[in-house]
Structure 1
Amino acid sequence: MRIFSLVILLLTLAFSVNQAQASPVDTYEFRDEVTKIRFQALTKELRCPKCQNQNLAGSNSPIAADLRKELYELLQQGKADSEIVNFMVERYGEFVLYRPRVSALTYILWFGPALLILLGIIVVIVVVRRKPVAKEVLVLTAEQEDKLKNLLNDK
């Protein structure tokens, strides 16, 4: 009976811990289905400023909840997606975008991998072309040929 009570107590504690860690659910009323879809797309496209690699839709942080609320209000005001994204970038920087814009600051991010691959291909081509190709034919003297024949015949 004690073991049964202990198991029930542990299950109750585990359940209460899971409930404490559950993420809050934002409930917003949208004017139409298009606005709702835009909200969902923008929350998946924008990154939480506090979290390392989570979007606004998947983050439990208080700042993400505030940004979702602000995003909802901007959509209710009739702002365009580009205006909302520009507002978020002005306020939180390029980090808030999962796909940063192509600019002078992000050229290395966008074109760096392609340049590294191109540089690697060039290095491989140069190394392969510089490698000497054995074009000379080895000619043995008569004495060396006799030694080779003796070695091969001994086996």
Structure 2
Amino acid sequence: MMKRISAMLLAVGLIFAAALPVMAAIDVYEFESAEQEKAFRDLTATLRCPKCQNNNIADSNAELAKDMRQKAFDLLSEGKSEQDVIDYMIARYGNFVTYDPPMTVSTVILWAGPLLFVLIGFTVLVMRSRKTAETSDKAELAADEEQRLKSLLEEIEQQKPSQDGKVK
């Protein structure tokens, strides 16, 4: 009976020991006001984690997201506005950290590139089909001209004088 109790206590102790790192992963921030806390929550929900790509930095467990959360907290604690924090993150990590990047040449190329590729491909197909149609028309015309040429040659042969000087 004592062996069972000690085995159970050992198992419970191992379970708690394994759970300790999980409890240490929680970030705790001390805010000066409720407005500052709301600004922090809004920022972490609107900034995208560059490593996770589809997670915001509030939901991401990546080290980069933790660093970004800490920097956002530090900047807000210094009295910076939400836009100042966003501008800092864009300057540091690029436009990708926002879910609504501004319209730039590179984003236009990314969106219009596939459309232009399809339009160019369609144009090439139309041009080639027209060229094939024109070539087949020319081939038919050449066959008509060949037939006419044969008939003219036969007429000339018939009108040509024979070796004895008589016309056929």
Scaled to the shorter chain, the TM-score interval is 0.5 to 0.7
Relative contact order: is structure 1 or structure 2 higher (C-alpha 8 Å, sep ≥ 6)?
1
Q: Which has the larger Rg?
A: 2
Aligned to 2:28: 26
Residues 52-97 of structure 1: per-residue CA shift (max 9 Å, x gap): 4432223334333332222122223332322221210111123322
Specify whether residues 16 and 53 from structure 1 end up closer, same or farther in structure 2 by C-alpha distance, changes over 3 A only.
Answer: farther
Percent identity at matched positions? 37
Structure 1: unaligned runs, 5 residues or longer: 116-155
Specify whether residues 29 and 94 from structure 1 end up closer, same or farther in structure 2 by C-alpha distance, changes over 3 A only.
Answer: same
C-alpha distance in 2, partners of 1:28/1:105? 40
In the comparison of the two structures, how many residue pairs are matched?
114
What is the CA RMSD across the aligned residues, in angstroms? 3.0
TM-score by length of 2: 0.53
Specify whether residues 51 and 6 from structure 1 end up closer, same or farther in structure 2 by C-alpha distance, changes over 3 A only.
Answer: farther
Structure 2: unaligned runs, 5 residues or longer: 116-168
Specify whether residues 102 and 18 from structure 1 end up closer, same or farther in structure 2 by C-alpha distance, changes over 3 A only.
Answer: farther
Specify whether residues 98 and 13 from structure 1 end up closer, same or farther in structure 2 by C-alpha distance, changes over 3 A only.
Answer: farther
Aligned to 1:84: 85
Structure 2 counterparts to residues 2-151 of structure 1, below 5 A: 2-22=3-23, 23-30=25-32, 32-107=33-108
Task: Tell me whether 58-67 or 100-109 shows the greater mean CA deviation.
Answer: 100-109
Higher helix share: 2
